[in-house]
Amino acid sequence: MTQHSAPSQQSTWALYAPFVPVLLVFLGSLVFALAKSSALERDMRIAVTQNMLWVVSQTQMELMALTLATSPSDRDAGRITQRFDLTLSRLNLLQQGPQARYLEDLGHLETVQGMTAALLALDPQENGNRPELYADLFRLSESLHPEVNRIANDVMTTDWDKAAARLDAYRGTQRLIILAVAFAFLVALAISWIVLRNQRKLHLSELRHLRASSLLEQERDISSMYRDFAALVSHQLRTPLSLIDSAMHRLARKGDDVTAKDVTERRVIIGDAIGRLTRLVDTVLLLAKLDNDQLEARFSPIAMNAVAQGIVDEAQARHPQRVLRLSSTDGPLMARGDLHLAGHIIDNLVSNAIRYSDADTPVELHVFAQGFEVACAVTDLGQGVAPCDQPHLFNRYYRGHAQKAGDGTGLGLALAQELARFQGGRISFETWPGKGSVFTLWLPVARQAEQVAS
């Protein structure tokens, strides 16, 4: 029964297949954002250590200090040496590593090299501390100021350009990161949607599966019901038929010796058997019509007490030894229903009362009106209905636990209830185990106009 089995491994995969690329896209965009922001972080770390402008301004300042130290008014050998060294150290710094590359890009590296060479040509430590040398140094350092200023200007402009370009790049990267994260968010939404949809699908397929198995169960129930039904009906048919058969055999054996008494005895037995057969066929036919929506009824005002009287008379004829009593209240007891169906129901209730009570106890019928209903209550002094049987009393094929095997079809009360409902009425019951029961048929009261018309 593979069509009813749970969703296979394969179909589960099919449910989550779209999930895989979407998940990859989600992770991909997150990884992209991560890589971009990591690159940004690295770039900022490098950028912040480049401080060319500071180096150039230091050079400018030291050159200024050297100019001051060598000015004619204020010359001190020690100070001039120190300023000379410091100026050289700054120029030297400008010609190292990243600074040298920076200046090369600007086309100023040769200028700085030339400045250094020019200064070194006037090195006081090489050429002795002479006032003429100081005067030459003073003029040289003064003449270098404009060049250093130009370098400083270019560096500043370049730094700003670079900073602006870097900010642009940062902004671009930031935008990319925001886009990537937003995209990842959308993808996450898509994933959630897929997961939810798949869960719903799984849920639905589980439901379908459950429904399918419950349908199967129902089918099994129905088929077992038909089996039960066939078994019951054949039993119920065979019993009266064999009664008739044996009665006819006895008569046949006696041949010409048959007396009028013999015939009367057999006639009663056969009549009773035929009555049972007729009622069984009637019940089965009614059930079949009811199940196939083919039950035709002629609704009209019916006198409930008259119907009950008819049933009591018939039952009395079948059971001459039993005490059957019918009483009814005064006033109109007209119900609206089908005469034949109502009779069938009351007959069923009376038959049950007779069957399930001792032969020496009476069965009483009482017809009365209450509210908008007309009722026929059938009371017996039998064993009552056991509590465990009460909830199932009107189920088809249900037979009480105390019943002897083969006794009753389990259809009678179920059919009676269904027929009562078919006519807009119902059957209710009260029971006192060990003491007796009251089963009551309720039918809607006939409208005044109809009563007058009839």
Partner 1 sequence: MPTLRSGFFCLALLSAPIAVAADQPILTLTGAVQDAPLTLSRDDLLELPQHDLVTSTTVTDGTPHFEGFLIRDLLAAHQAEGEVVVARALNDYQMEIPLSDFEEFDVIGALSMDGAPLSPRDKGPIWIVYPRDDHRELQDIRYDTRWVWQLVSLHVQ
Sites of contact with partner 1 (CB under 8 A): 45, 48-49, 55, 58, 61-62, 82, 85-86, 88-89, 91-93, 95-100, 113, 116-117, 120, 123, 125
Q: Which is nearer to partner 1, 98 or 406 (CB)?
A: 98
Q: Which is nearer to partner 1, 110 or 291 (CB)?
A: 110
Kindly state the smallest distance separating residue 48's Cβ from partner 1, in Å.
5
Kindly state the smallest distance separating residue 184's Cβ from partner 1, in Å.
29
Q: Which is nearer to partner 1, 47 or 216 (CB)?
A: 47
The candidate with the shortest Cα–Cα distance to 438, out of 364, 370, 330, is 364
The candidate with the shortest Cα–Cα distance to 380, out of 434, 428, 427, is 434
The candidate with the shortest Cα–Cα distance to 424, out of 285, 295, 329, 299, is 299
Kindly state the smallest distance separating residue 83's Cβ from partner 1, in Å.
9
Q: How far apart are CA 12 and CA 15, in angstroms?
A: 5
Overall residue count recorded for the chain in this entry? 454
Longest Cα separation, the chain: 182
Kindly state the smallest distance separating residue 169's Cβ from partner 1, in Å.
20
In Å, how far from its chain's centre is CA 144?
A: 85
Which DSSP symbol is given to 322?
S
Q: Which is nearer to partner 1, 33 or 55 (CB)?
A: 55
Kindly state the smallest distance separating residue 99's Cβ from partner 1, in Å.
7
Q: Which is nearer to partner 1, 115 or 287 (CB)?
A: 115
User: Which residues lie below 8 Å from residue 438, measured CB to CB, with a gap of 6+?
Assistant: 377, 378, 379, 429, 430, 431
Q: Dihedral, CA atoms, 96, 99, 102, 103, nearest 10 degrees?
A: -70
Kindly state the smallest distance separating residue 52's Cβ from partner 1, in Å.
10
In Å, how far from its chain's centre is CA 215?
A: 20
Kindly state the smallest distance separating residue 160's Cβ from partner 1, in Å.
19
Kindly state the smallest distance separating residue 190's Cβ from partner 1, in Å.
39
Residue pair 429/385 in contact (Cβ under 8 Å)? The answer is yes
Kindly state the smallest distance separating residue 36's Cβ from partner 1, in Å.
21
Q: Which is nearer to partner 1, 85 or 142 (CB)?
A: 85
Q: Which is nearer to partner 1, 103 or 286 (CB)?
A: 103
Q: Which is nearer to partner 1, 92 or 239 (CB)?
A: 92
Show the tokens assigned to 217.
């169960």
Residue pair 270/244 in contact (Cβ under 8 Å)? The answer is yes
The candidate with the shortest Cα–Cα distance to 209, out of 383, 366, 7, is 7
Q: What values do phi and psi take at 230, rounded to 5?
A: -60, -45
Kindly state the smallest distance separating residue 87's Cβ from partner 1, in Å.
9
Q: How far apart are CA 213 and CA 4, in angstroms?
A: 7
Q: Which is nearer to partner 1, 79 or 201 (CB)?
A: 79
Q: Which residue has the tokens 């009360």?
A: 413
Show the tokens assigned to 409.
């079809």
Q: In what order do the strands lie in the sheet with 324-328?
A: 324-328, 363-370, 373-380, 436-444, 426-432
Q: Which is nearer to partner 1, 28 or 124 (CB)?
A: 124
Kindly state the smallest distance separating residue 50's Cβ from partner 1, in Å.
8
Q: Which is nearer to partner 1, 62 or 380 (CB)?
A: 62
User: Which residues lie below 8 Å from residue 3, measured CB to CB, with a gap of 6+?
Assistant: 212
Bridge-based pairing of strands 363-370 and 324-328 is parallel
Residue pair 386/437 in contact (Cβ under 8 Å)? The answer is no
